[in-house]
Structure 1
Amino acid sequence: MCKAVWIAAVLGLATAGGIAAQTPLPPPVTEADYGPIDPAEAKLGQLLFYDPVLSGNRNISCATCHHPKFATSDGLSLGLGEGGVGLGPDRHATARNTPEERIPRNATALFNLGAKAFTTLFHDGRIQADPTRKSGIRTPMDEDMVTGFSGVLSAQTMFPVLSPDEMAGHYSENDVAQAVRSGLITGPGGAWDIISKRVAAIPQYQAGFEAVYPHVAAGEEVRFTDISNAIAAFIAFEWRSDDSPFDAALRGEVPLSGLAADGAALFYGEAGCAGCHSGPFQTDHGFHATGAPQLGPGKAARFEHHSRDDGRMRVTGREEDRFAFRTPSLRNVARTGPWGHAGAHDDLRRFVADHVRGGAALDAYVRSAVLPDLPGGKPDWAVLDDPAERAALAAASRSGPALTEPELDALLAFLDSLTDPAALSGRLGVPDRVPSGLAVDR
């Protein structure tokens, strides 16, 4: 079958209609796109993922900000970590231990992060696979990065547990927070060592690690890398996403039809979406400045006082990377809102309409973020309320043509065709209990 006819068949079109000259459709996702998963390791990781024992104050789990109820995010524009209570949009600050700041970036979805193509993680790409490093991974720890992480998905777990605002806690609240504040991360008495010993002191966990990892069965202590590797195995297994209607169309099973087919033709055609959202997971894994609205505390060093988020520039130091953020995968995007690196849009249609216009849409942006009240934090709209900051954000981005309402209808239908019900519900699910006996976010 020639390319034009194949593309037409996938999109449910009667004729090629010029489709062959447009961006090629990606190949179907196959088993070769993923690595092997040990079911016992994934099951151990499931318990750890939902167990608050990994947080300094034993009150926040990975699932607090990445819950299946909210398509592996938290339903908020910017989350509340330490000091918050509740789940999703119901999460709120407490008077007893009010969060110091919001989490500065939107909680990313976890779909397909175990696929081999995902070698760069976080909005700014601060974790990347790098075979020239002893650890095989480039991180902000540079040469102090320890070995033993199974890959970038495992290594990403080290950031939230060390963040005072996310999971570690503040100042002298607990032993993990004290270690972090003192700069003790690795080695005896470091934050990772404290967390590892907590976990290993629970008999069910110790037995689980002995069953999964031969070096633990041989008498070695449970290490933080063992914990993170198990969590990575769980994420890779639980939220593999390759069974959407679009996947079925690419495999030649059921072609897309109606608005979804029209939207796919736009997406891979004149709308130009596939210029960045390319490949089988709709991401080029690159970094682009799109003029997305900025809100919240931003990303600033302790000696800085702005509320700006310079994105990739904070990693590379290059001016040309200012305001650039990693292209997100679009799998299950219809369910993963709020959208944008700061979650500035609570409506996907508005997000797409603004996104294609880039910085040109900033002046007309309707503030629709999902933000629980946070007394005493930085002003939420400092960047957009500053004409100079807003102009700099707009100047760094590209602007495209506005979409018509029928074109938006079609694109939204195509994006919905990327929804995979099996991935959304998960495979192991939320455990009834965890070995620590602490409360599970449900």
Structure 2
Amino acid sequence: MNTGFQKGKKIIETLKDNGYEAYFVGGYVRDFLLKRKTNDIDIATSAKPEQVQEIFPKVIPVGIEHGTVIVRMQGESFEVTTFREESSYSDFRHPDQVQFVHEIEKDLSRRDFTMNAIAMDETGNLFDPFNGQADLTNQQIRTVREPSLRFQEDPLRIMRAARFVSQLGFHVEPNSKKAMKEYGPLLANISIERIVQEFEKLLAGRFVERGLQLFFETRLASQIPVIQESGNIQDRIRALSKPLGHIRELLTLCHFLDDTIGIRVFGQKWKLSRHTQREAEQLVTATYYFQEHGLDAWMIYQLPASLDESFIRVLDVLNNHTISLDSVLEIRRQLPIKERKQLSINGTDLASWFPQKQKGPWIGMWTEAIEHAVVIGKQRNDKKKIKEWVLSHGEHPPTNY
């Protein structure tokens, strides 16, 4: 057992010592039974939030109105939620009313899929009123009780079903699959940010082909802005056979498939952060450069190291061109400088070398020329040598770099 389990076990034992029921629940139990690694450990208990706060010294009341608090245990955070029943979902996300209950079965009955509705005590004993273990054995995704009810409560569960297919390689049982198609249009009531988060996880799944097959079979593509409008993008996504690691990679691929839809269109309609859009733009620039010049020091220097793996995946999908991360890292390791501020000269130096010339854009042009020469190994990052090279060209930097 990992340290997270041991700390979670201690929380459960402490709650039980104080007279309450408590169990591991949700995705942690599912992944534990599937022998998959997981970091998030959720605990359900009959104790109310204020009672949990009395028992543990470090408690963060993150969602106390819905019965959820964070218990800090030896440097780790654990979400602890009171057993509850929920009423209707007028906003398709949050229940209109939450009622705390004393029975774990009532709590499990509100969950989305049977595989996520299994409780486990601190000794490993399971409480499985909806036969989630059987569905795990049969590699089947099935809603808890009636699928129409589950999907109308929170239509994002439809996307979650497709995402779980991609992650686990399971199939969706027929009634749940039929309801996915029927209630897919309800995704119009869900914020695009939440939909994109699930779609990103779907694209990153080990069994992405299966997830996307279900995604198109149930007509979910017609519910997502931008995708619904472009047949080229739908065809590319449909043909995707390898996982993507981040939504920025999809934006990059789409740029090369339909140039009428720019990255900023995705950014606007999907409400993506400016940072994500900028990363996609950097991947586009790197891909264009690679297609013309191949893998070299200047390309790697300009590409942030955090995008190395994304760049490799984009090339693999776009051009079926595989390059190894080791080759990228080796070029990066040998770079003489990692960023411009490591140059041995600056704008003040350049201005002093041409005292008769007014300051202006030429300083930036010369700085970039020097930067390029140093990165590709044409010039040493030595102030004296750089000065000699600059003065040998006169006032104008070389343009063939």
TM, length-normalised to structure 1 = 0.25
Larger radius of gyration: 2
Q: By percentage of residues, which structure has more helix?
A: 2
